[in-house]
Amino acid sequence: MGRLEREFIVDEISKRIKVSENIILSNFSKIKAEQLNDLRSKLADNQSSYFVVKNTLCKLALEKADKKQLIDLINGPTGFVFCGDNPIATSKVIVDFSKTAEGLEVLGGIIDGEILAGGQVKELASLPSHKELLTMVVTGLKSPITSFVGVLGQLVKSFVVVLNEVAKKKEQETLAEAVTAEASPQEPQEASTETAQEEVKMEEVKEAVDATEAAVDTEAQKEQIDNENDNQDKEE
């Protein structure tokens, strides 16, 4: 590789490092070519990419991009993971891949300006994804409503039970009153007295109505006689 070619590679890598806020470094000493291709394909699904370059060129590019703090993470053949807009999803891909590919080791990286060690990148990968967070939020919003509906349902059931108990109690009181009325010798007499009084009142009302009807009939007959007399006077 000639000097101009090395300078070109260093310049291109440094540009990508400058514009990338989220970068993860990994060692790929025992990774096969087909495994790297599989990893690149999975990263591409998250708008991320995997870039491999010699360590000497890596260090030069990091220095040129003012990211010297990442140089200490370089250990053996190093690959750069340039994360997209979702570093959590990208970290999940690289960490999950390292569990099945023994030759891949997560060294660390820089996320939103913070330097992370390999273990911290793994912790980042354990966080819920954007989709999982949305699901948790929706579930959290629905939970109070579900609880409210459940409580309301219990209240309605309790209210129905109370009404049933009141109805039963009222029925029992009515039955008890009836039994007491049958057992008491005075209450039937009082009831009979009240019935007799009501019958007398009805008779009085009936008599008053009959008298009114008779008076009306008498007045009508008188008016009819007067009309007949008037008609006779007119004929004469």
Quote the pLDDT of residue 129: 66
Dihedrals phi, psi of 70, to nearest 5 degrees: -80, -15
CB 22 within 8 A of CB 83: yes
Nearest to 38 by CA among 88, 87, 96, 85: 96
Count of alpha carbons within 13 angstroms of residue 25, beta-carbon side: 26
Please name the amino acid found at residue 208: A
Q: Which residue has the higher pLDDT, 53 or 169?
A: 53
Quote the pLDDT of residue 94: 92
Dihedrals phi, psi of 140, to nearest 5 degrees: -65, -35
User: How far is the C-alpha of 55 from the C-alpha of 199, rounded, in Å?
Assistant: 120
Pick from 18-32, 62-76, 175-189: least confident: 175-189
21, two tokens: 């806020």
Quote the pLDDT of residue 21: 86
Helix or strand run (H / E) with residue 70: none
How many helices and strands (H and E) does the chain possess? 7, 5
Homologous superfamily of domain range 3-127: Ribosomal protein L10, N-terminal RNA-binding domain (3.30.70.1730)
Exposed (0-12), middle (13-18) or buried (19+): which is 53, by Cβ within 10 Å?
middle
For residue 71, the tally of other CB atoms under 10 A from its CB is 13
3-state secondary structure of 188: helix
- pTM for this structure? 0.54
Position 145 pLDDT exceeds 60:
no
Q: Where are the domains of the chain?
A: 3-127, 133-226
Angle, helix 3-19 to helix 55-64, in steps of 10 degrees: 50
